[in-house]
Structure 1
């Protein structure tokens, strides 16, 4: 292995001399796309093999009773893997950690995520966990891109580019939708769009779709799309409003479920609580088992009572209003089940559940209208529009929602309804929830890159401890100006901190006053610094955000402020000069992703 690494390092040195980074990124985009496609196929294959074994291969009279505990087993196995195999290595799931890595960790994602995301999500979803595979495979793909870029010693912006290529490859391979994979990275990860970004993303997404299709050719949905009718436009508008409001509900529920789960400190107790809760929900609503795509496919095939089938209410599956009411209950149960799964220790994402919830909502709306006799709506069309709307609202990614549904259905016939429902749902959610389900936590902690307020964003990226200046002459309160005359005269700073021997900050004194005292223009040459100390206009605590620091400086109209810790001990000074220098450096770092 060391010989192989050494060979790669020699190759990399040769490459740095002969191949420009711009062209090398294109080459690596091919590599990331191929590996990402293999990872997507592997994840889908593993998950569906586990699910098939549990549902079809086991022959036992009472095997269906085990469906109540399968999700618990899957989550438990996932937690055991994290605690026993990874042994304390940091593991995070979902899209949020990818965004955080771009914002705060120089696009560094730990290499174990390449395989850990696949293993844990296959166990979670394969055993019936009610979540999706798309976020884990996007995370795995992002880890592939990040680690390849860092291995070759590329810059931050180039590693970020490859990270986005990996995420695109993951989504593309999972859905066999290269265009949606590319747009996903542009909307969710890169935030700013430029033409140079487009080519590597296209390459990775296209290759991943090809590789995934070769290795595991199973389309997400089969459906025969019919053209939409202009007379149904009002109903598409109504559906858009309903979906938008529902996405706000789901986003708020996500925050509450996360709070509930955090209160359960023991990971194993959390597994039991969540596993048993999921088992109960699946017992009442069998459609919640696993990803949920099978139910949507059955609805698209015209089996409108499939939601009720195999449930406790299957005897009433031919009664339309029972089907409608049960679908609505399943919709809300799905939102709870998905959030319990992803917050309990299992690995999965809300990408897939968003599609299922949107599909159920679109079905309930169209089926309900048809029951009233007010109109005759094409149910499959509304199912697909609902999926696009839910994805758009929850993720704040309308283009991803539109093109994903258009690609997975194999037709752009519904483009206009998809655009209407996705855009309105997004606007409603954006009005009610400023940040998406992925970025809310980061926005609250100040770790989100936002180009709507670039000044505040760049300030939020600064860490105060890295720009503290400490080259100041420290004066003790029992000392006198005459005692430190030489140090004062030769200091390159015009401000002196007065600090106790135990580090406690007492105050400051400026060089102008000290020179005046030493020259006899002002009395005090025999006074100690404890009596001469001045209280600063304000001070900065180490844990304060840079946005707060700048507000203090502007409010007091000062150029420099002392920094202290929680106990009041002196740490140094923070100056506007240091802030501006760091600001310029970060602006250059956060410039275009490719020059």
Structure 2
């Protein structure tokens, strides 16, 4: 019981002081680097992530090793791309290559590694770069074969589809896996909320999580570490149903507390383990009532592994090929597809986010699927704003303003006070409306009386995705660009037409 606590006490201060991004699963941080930081990961992250993962797994935290392996591989790829001074697009590709290599070597599954990088890390499939990612995955697998041998990651039972009447049963297994996936994702978030509510310092949280894991391990040692021993017990058919239920509940709680407390480790492997246990329990019940009509429970455990991964990651293709590459049995494809899609539909319908997306959303990082969105995020307002614009004094009469508008090429005027600070905006629409109402009294009306006071603004440092979101659904064609430190100091304007033109030009440039 003391080992997880001591490990947490050592890990917490080191991670918090040197590299907070090495805390947790690793995969969300890699996705964040792709989406927000143009594929850049700090160089020292590699060594610190390796150390924190070894310490977490060594002390018995209930986490996986694939997340940190992905983080480490991605860090190497990102660092190499930065060293070679590559473009942001190629930094992301090198990062994805490192991620695919990590998964391929970990599970001895090159296709799963390639699809993991394309489906999860790059958010959407990037067909243009699949060949580079595939080469990376194959190379990593060859190296793994040379040093570790070409053995499957788990003990794989012989798959047999006894009857096509089993397909609805695999569908039911997928639905159960989807429900368990939602509970798992929500529980991790709830654990983090409890830590926040208790105001426990971040450096102390792994030790507190270690108390829970150590306490559970006294009664159920299978929860310690990755959990492959328990999963192999299911796949070998050696565990009784009662024991599988016990380990499943214990693993669920221990993993939620380990990840929520900030231990460095992945979520992919625990999802495999819990899915295998769920499938084993489900298959045991079926075999009890209809032993001649259904396959043995290890077979259901194998399919349950993929279904749980599909639900937690919302990456069904990766889940399907991870298990298929372990069996190389085409008969398993139909049950895998049925269970994985069922699990995916449940999570998408009743929750909507993967476990990785959930953790990013909680950090304030917005994930939107689509390569065009990634493109917009890489373009900054400062590169497309115009610094030539017209300002008018708030005390200017409407008559004078009309005369200026007749000579001006600008559809909007920035209204400033005597300190040259923006107090509002006047558009051509405002002028037309006032002229029709005021008539000859227009000389008595001031700009400050017709201007729009609550003006939407943007800063030079923000990206074009943010600008698109501001323009969307609003009848405006121009945004004032203000100083990030002074929201009343206008430094330029951004036109909607310029924004659309920039988007179209860059889309053509990258060949989307």
1:211 paired residue number = 143
Instruction: State which of 456, 460, 463 in structure 2 corresponds to 1:540.
Output: 456
CA distance in structure 1 between the partners assigned to 2:489 and 2:470 by the alignment: 16
1:350 paired residue number = 267
Alignment of 1:192-231 (within 5 A): 192-193=124-125, 196-217=128-149, 219-230=152-163, 231=165
Q: Please list the CA deviations of residues 374-429 of structure 1 after superposition, one character each: whole Å capped at 9, or x if unmatched.
A: 65641111110100111111111112112211223465553332222222222222
Instruction: State which of 74, 93, 111 in structure 2 corresponds to 1:142.
Output: 74
**2:106 paired with 1:174:** yes
Question: Residue 494 of structure 2 aligns to a residue in which SS?
Answer: strand
The Cα of 1:462 is off from its aligned counterpart by 6.2
Q: Please list the CA deviations of residues 288-345 of structure 1 after superposition, one character each: whole Å capped at 9, or x if unmatched.
A: 111000111122223214xxxxxxxxxxxxxxxxx42x53343233223222212322
Instruction: State which of 500, 504, 509 in structure 2 corresponds to 1:580.
Output: 500
**2:314 paired with 1:400:** no
The Cα of 1:155 is off from its aligned counterpart by 2.4
**2:233 paired with 1:298:** yes
Question: Residue 472 of structure 2 aligns to a residue in which SS?
Answer: helix
Let me know the Cα RMSD of the aligned residues.
Answer: 3.8
Instruction: State which of 3, 11, 14 in structure 2 corresponds to 1:81.
Output: 14
Question: Conserved in 1, the CA contact under 8 Å of 2:423 and 2:488?
Answer: no
In terms of mean alpha carbon deviation, does 438-447 or 377-386 score higher? 438-447
Instruction: State which of 119, 122, 131 in structure 2 corresponds to 1:187.
Output: 119
CA distance in structure 1 between the partners assigned to 2:213 and 2:22 by the alignment: 26
Q: 1:265 to 1:465 in 2, by over 3 A?
A: farther
**2:313 paired with 1:381:** no
Question: Conserved in 2, the CA contact under 8 Å of 1:107 and 1:163?
Answer: yes
1:316 paired residue number = none
CA distance in structure 2 between the partners assigned to 1:140 and 1:493 by the alignment: 51
Alignment of 1:50-69 (within 5 A): 68-69=1-2
CA distance in structure 2 between the partners assigned to 1:237 and 1:493 by the alignment: 61
Question: Residue 574 of structure 1 aligns to a residue in which SS?
Answer: strand
In terms of mean alpha carbon deviation, does 455-464 or 222-231 score higher? 455-464
Alignment of 1:123-162 (within 5 A): 123-162=55-94
Question: Residue 110 of structure 1 aligns to a residue in which SS?
Answer: coil
Question: Residue 418 of structure 1 aligns to a residue in which SS?
Answer: helix
**2:360 paired with 1:426:** no
Please list every run of 5 or more consecutive structure 1 residues that lacks an aligned counterpart in the other structure: 1-67, 306-322
Question: TM-score, normalised to structure 1's length?
Answer: 0.72
The Cα of 1:201 is off from its aligned counterpart by 1.9
Q: Please list the CA deviations of residues 522-547 of structure 1 after superposition, one character each: whole Å capped at 9, or x if unmatched.
A: 8888x8x9665531386204489434
Please list every run of 5 or more consecutive structure 2 residues that lacks an aligned counterpart in the other structure: none
Q: 1:265 to 1:497 in 2, by over 3 A?
A: farther
Question: Residue 105 of structure 1 aligns to a residue in which SS?
Answer: coil
Question: Conserved in 2, the CA contact under 8 Å of 1:222 and 1:409?
Answer: no
Question: Conserved in 2, the CA contact under 8 Å of 1:473 and 1:488?
Answer: no
The Cα of 1:125 is off from its aligned counterpart by 1.3
**2:369 paired with 1:450:** yes
Q: 1:70 to 1:412 in 2, by over 3 A?
A: farther
Question: Residue 108 of structure 1 aligns to a residue in which SS?
Answer: coil
Question: Residue 281 of structure 2 aligns to a residue in which SS?
Answer: helix
Question: Residue 225 of structure 2 aligns to a residue in which SS?
Answer: coil
Question: Conserved in 2, the CA contact under 8 Å of 1:509 and 1:533?
Answer: no
Question: Residue 355 of structure 2 aligns to a residue in which SS?
Answer: coil
2:211 paired residue number = 276
